[in-house]
A and B are shown apart, each in its own frame.
Chain A
Amino acid sequence: MGLLTNLRDSISRVTDGLFAADEPKRIGIYGPPNAGKTTLANRIARDWTGDAVGPESHIPHETRRARRKENVEIERNGRKVTIDIVDTPGVTTKVDYKEFLDHDMDKEDAVRRSREATEGVAEAMHWLREDVDGVIYVLDSTTDPFTQVNTMLIGIIESQDLPALILANKTDLPGSDVQQIANAFPQHETIPLSALEGENMDEVYTKIAEYFG
Chain B
Amino acid sequence: MPGATPDVDGNDDPADDGVRIDMISGARMEGLTSMEKIRLILDGVRDGNIVILEEGLSPDEESKLIEVTMTEISPDDFTGIEIETYPKPESGNQSFLDKLMGRESTQKLTVIGPANRIETLHKDENLISTLVSRK
Chain A contact residues, CB within 8 Å of chain B: 91-97, 111, 114-115, 118-119, 121-122, 125-126, 128-129, 146, 148, 151-152, 155-156, 158-160
Q: Does B58 contact A (CB under 8 A)?
A: yes
Number of A-B contacts (CB under 8 A): 75
**Footprint of A on B, CB under 8 Å?**
58-60, 62-64, 66-67, 69-71, 73, 75, 79-85, 104, 115-116, 120, 123
Chain B residue nearest to A89 in the complex (CB): B70
CA–CA, A121 and B82, complex, Å? 15
- Residues of A close to B58: CB separation below 8 A: 159
Q: Which residue of A lies closest to B84 (CB)?
A: A148
Question: Is chain A's interface secondary structure helix, strand, loop, or mixed overall?
Answer: helix
Q: A129-B63, A148-B85, A159-B58 are in contact. Are A95 and B70 (CB under 8 A)?
A: yes
A114 CB to closest chain B CB (Å) equals 7
A122 — which chain B residues lie within 8 A by C-beta? 66-67, 70-71
Instruction: Choose among B64, B73, B82, B120 the residue that contacts A95 (Cβ–Cβ < 8 A).
Output: B73
Report the separation of the CA atoms of residues A112 and B75 in the bound assembly, to the nearest whole angstrom. Answer: 10
Q: How far is the CA of A119 from the CA of B75 in the complex (A)?
A: 14
Chain A neighbourhood of B83, CB < 8 A: 93, 148, 152
Q: Are B66 and A94 in contact (CB under 8 A)?
A: no
